[in-house]
């Protein structure tokens, strides 16, 4: 699973995040005095640390996931579970938030159904990503995950009524070409030693996972805007915590239903780097995914949700480059071409978000006047 902030529950609609309702502003503004007390040097230190962890945590999580398979790990359900099981870490920033009235415009039953449905979707999505990472090299997997931005643009238009701009079209074009080049790469094979068809299946599963992921992101945004009608930082964190809880339960059920749990002891004993490395790999993967989420929240507090989204998007470029270096993946002509096309695709997307942010800031200033 690739988790730039574009693909996390923290990525809420920019206009809604800037033009919050008065009741949400009251609760969020309670945090601002704490931030304003920071000296400028301290502010830069916190921002720099958050940027580093937001970009690196996702790359580390993907690399550890590939390392798990390379060293003898084979449980798709364990690989799925570690993507969400670290959600208790998110209670830390949640507990640090000042207490505020916790009300929404929907019933508790409705919230439960939202958490259950989105959690089930996340569980399925993570399973598809696990299969994709098993069948593909880390670099190819990461590049195909860039199609999240394509599907995000489509579902944002269909579900969230966001406009399709020139920059959106350009981003979709370049990222589509990048994904096609990777999928049609004749020099790439599955790292597990499978045939070309196994590689193609891995590409299709990762593509399907990106589609489902982008769909559930738009549904999350729709839930906040049309159903919950309250979008504070605390509720965004709670959305991620409870959907991750449901997704983790799905993974545990799948682990036992599939019988993979019976093979875990043998898998640990046969792990090439030893028992300790096996445990540390799984724990490190789980912590890395959630550390990226915490860093995204920190940047929202310290700067803005727009800035957090832009920094998170950079991981779509950093991760495949890091995979090429760490795993010495075969650098084919197709991968070079895919990276060349992916860079402007991500850049156009970031610029589009930048323009949206400027528009929202102007709207905020006009309302303040």
User: SS3 string of the chain?
Assistant: CCCCHHHCCCCCCHHHHHCCCHHHHHHHCCCHHHHHCCCHHHHHHHHHHHHHHHHHHHHHHHHHHHHHHHCCCCCHHHHHHCCCCCHHHHHHHHHHCCCCCCCCCCCHHHHHHHHHHHHHHHHHHHHHHHHHHHHCCHHHHHHHHHHHHHHHHHHHHHCCCCCCCHHHHHHHHHHHHHHHHHHCCCCCCCCCCCCHHHHHHHHHHHHHHHHHHHHHHHHHHHHHHHHHCCCCHHHHHHHHHHHHHHHHHHHHHHHHHCCHHHHHHHHHHHCCCCHHHHHHHHHHHHHHHHHHHHHHHHHHHHCCHHHHHHHHHCHHHHHHHHHHHHCCCCCCHHHHHHHHHHHHHHHHHHHHHHHHHHHHHHHHHHHHC
Along the 369 residues of the chain, how does pLDDT read in single tens digits?
555 444 344 444 444 444 444 444 444 444 444 454 556 777 778 888 888 988 888 889 989 999 999 999 989 999 999 999 999 988 887 787 666 555 556 788 889 999 999 999 999 999 999 999 999 888 888 888 888 888 888 888 888 787 888 888 898 888 888 888 877 775 555 665 567 788 889 889 999 999 998 888 888 888 888 888 766 777 878 888 999 999 999 999 999 999 999 999 999 999 999 999 999 999 999 999 888 878 877 776 677 655 666 677 777 778 888 888 887 777 778 888 888 888 888 888 878 877 877 776 777 677 666
pLDDT in tens, 91-143: 887 787 666 555 556 788 889 999 999 999 999 999 999 999 999 888 888 88
pLDDT in tens, 318-349: 888 888 888 777 777 888 888 888 888 888 88
């Amino acid at each position: 699973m690739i988790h730039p902030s574009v693909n996390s529950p923290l990525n809420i609609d920019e206009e809604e995040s800037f033009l919050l309702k008065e009741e949400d502003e009251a609760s969020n503004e309670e945090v601002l005095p704490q931030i304003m007390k920071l000296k400028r040097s301290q502010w830069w230190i916190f921002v720099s640390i958050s940027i580093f962890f937001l970009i690196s945590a996702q790359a580390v999580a993907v690399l550890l996931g590939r390392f798990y398979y390379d060293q003898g790990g084979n449980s798709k359900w364990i690989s799925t579970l570690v993507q969400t099981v670290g959600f208790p870490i998110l209670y830390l920033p949640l507990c640090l938030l000042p207490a505020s009235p916790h009300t929404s415009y929907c019933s508790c039953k409705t919230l439960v159904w939202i958490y259950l449905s989105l959690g089930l979707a996340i569980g399925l999505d993570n399973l598809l990503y696990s299969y994709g990472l098993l069948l593909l090299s880390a670099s190819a997997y990461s590049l195909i995950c860039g199609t999240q931005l394509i599907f995000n643009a489509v579902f944002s238009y269909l579900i969230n009524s966001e406009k399709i701009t020139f920059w959106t079209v350009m981003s979709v074009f370049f990222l589509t070409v990048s994904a096609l080049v990777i999928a049609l790469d004749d020099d790439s094979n599955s790292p597990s030693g499978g045939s070309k068809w196994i590689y193609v299946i891995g590409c299709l599963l990762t593509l399907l996972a990106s589609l489902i992921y982008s769909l559930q992101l738009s549904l999350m945004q729709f839930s906040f805007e049309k159903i919950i009608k309250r979008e504070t930082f605390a509720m965004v964190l709670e959305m991620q915590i409870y959907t991750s809880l449901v997704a983790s339960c799905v993974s545990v059920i799948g682990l036992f239903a599939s019988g993979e749990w019976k093979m875990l002891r043998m898998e640990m004993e046969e792990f090439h780097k030893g028992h300790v490395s096996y445990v540390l790999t799984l724990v490190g993967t789980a912590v890395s995914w959630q550390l990226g989420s915490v860093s995204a929240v920190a940047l929202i507090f310290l700067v803005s949700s727009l800035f957090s989204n832009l920094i998170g998007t950079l991981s779509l470029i950093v991760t495949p480059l890091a995979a090429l270096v760490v795993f010495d993946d075969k650098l084919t002509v197709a991968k070079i071409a895919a990276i060349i096309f992916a860079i402007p695709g991500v850049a156009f997307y970031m610029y589009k978000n930048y323009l949206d942010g400027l528009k929202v800031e102007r709207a905020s200033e006009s309302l303040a006047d």
